[in-house]
Amino acid sequence: MQLFILGGNMLRKHLYRIRAMPYLLWTIIFTIVPLFFIIYYSFKVKDESFVFTLDNYKKFFTPTYLKIIFVSLKLSLISTFLCLILGYPAGLFLSRIKAEKRRNILVLLFIMPLWTNFLLRTYSWMSIFREQGIINQMLINVGIIDSPIKFLNNNFAIIIGMIYNFLPFMVLPIYTALINIDKEYIECAKDLGAKGKDLFFRVIFPLSFKGVISGCIMVFMPSVTTFIISDLLGGSQNMLVGNLIQREFLQARNWETGSSISLIMIFIIFVSLMIFRIFVKKSDNEFTEGFKIW
């Protein structure tokens, strides 16, 4: 009997491994192999096969490149913060709708823009922001302005584009975290005298903090590497790190410099994820201790 059980467990393990093979192959072919080539090209001398150098990384620390990285991080952090300010109330509103059918319809409305092509969504803002666009024409007709305002080709347009395209990625994790909060925690807090601001900041927000962190990650990562939004809404004078990598690969045909910048950005994003993870662990510990004391 024991041999039969042991044999069944071994067979089950082999079946799990066989089922995991397609995912493993996918990861190797489309993640590990491309990453290997990026690492290889980042150390390679241009037009030389097996001559390696660190000069590709030294270019990153020139004032021009550092300024582009700084602007990219600044705009990404601003857009992430604004998405959080807009997304948390939206997620809280959705989570408090008791009628499940109505709640699901509203969640679907948040998801629907993602079904549209990313490029088309960005082009739509170009038509809205252009000098003959809806906003300028409305302001002129009302009499607020006499001549069109230049909304395009600046950081403002880039931030608006980021918020519009990435806001659902903030709302959905926060909504999921809020909807899964155990109602007994809230009832217990109310019984202990918590209400209003105290209830939100000491119970609801800490319990939904993982959703906040997930949303921030899902907004920050595409924001810091985007090139379509900055290219179409920001213009050629507003280059972000995504545009820089695109230019090095596709226009300058300088795969070596493009690869080195890509690896540095991967490192920056990895460090950001580790920082977010530390915040999550710290918030969990603080909430647990605070709830015990409270």
Please give the pLDDT value at position 160: 95
Sign of the Cα pseudo-torsion (4, 8, 9, 10, in order): positive
Answer yes or no: is 104 within a domain.
no
- Residue 44: strand pairing partners: 52
Answer yes or no: is 38 within a domain.
no
Please give the pLDDT value at position 47: 73
Please give the pLDDT value at position 6: 47
Answer for the pair 157, 233: CB distance below 8 angstroms, yes or no: yes
**Between 286 and 23, residue with greater pLDDT:** 23
Mean per-residue pLDDT for 87-113?
90
Q: Which of 60-64, 220-224, 269-273 has the highest mean pLDDT?
A: 220-224
For the whole model, what pTM was predicted? 0.85
Answer yes or no: is 36 within a domain.
no
Please give the pLDDT value at position 293: 41
Mean pLDDT of the chain: 86
Report helix angle 134-142 to 118-129, nearest 10: 20
Q: Which of 229, 108, 238, 248 is nearest to 168 (CA)?
A: 108
pLDDT band at 52; cut points 50, 70, 90 = confident
| Domain with 203 in it | 64-96+150-293
Report helix angle 63-95 to 209-225, nearest 10: 140
Answer yes or no: is 220 within a domain.
yes
Answer yes or no: is 276 within a domain.
yes
Answer yes or no: is 193 within a domain.
yes
Is the pLDDT assigned to residue 7 strictly greater than 70?
A: no
First to last CA, the chain: 53
Exposure of 107 by Cβ count < 10 A (0-12 exposed, 13-18 middle, 19+ buried)? buried
Element (H, E) at 200: none
pLDDT, tens digit (0-9, with 9 covering 90-100), for 207-245: 899 899 999 999 999 999 899 999 999 887 788 999 999
- For residue 106, the number of C-alpha atoms closer than 13 Å in the C-beta half-sphere is 17
Mean per-residue pLDDT for 246-258?
89
Answer yes or no: is 160 within a domain.
yes
**What's the number of domains the chain is made of?**
1
Answer yes or no: is 221 within a domain.
yes
For position 89, which CATH number holds? 1.10.3720.10
Q: What is the DSSP string of 91-120?
A: HHHHHT---HHHHHHHHHHHHGGGGS-HHH
Answer for the pair 189, 292: CB distance below 8 angstroms, yes or no: no
Answer for the pair 238, 156: CB distance below 8 angstroms, yes or no: no
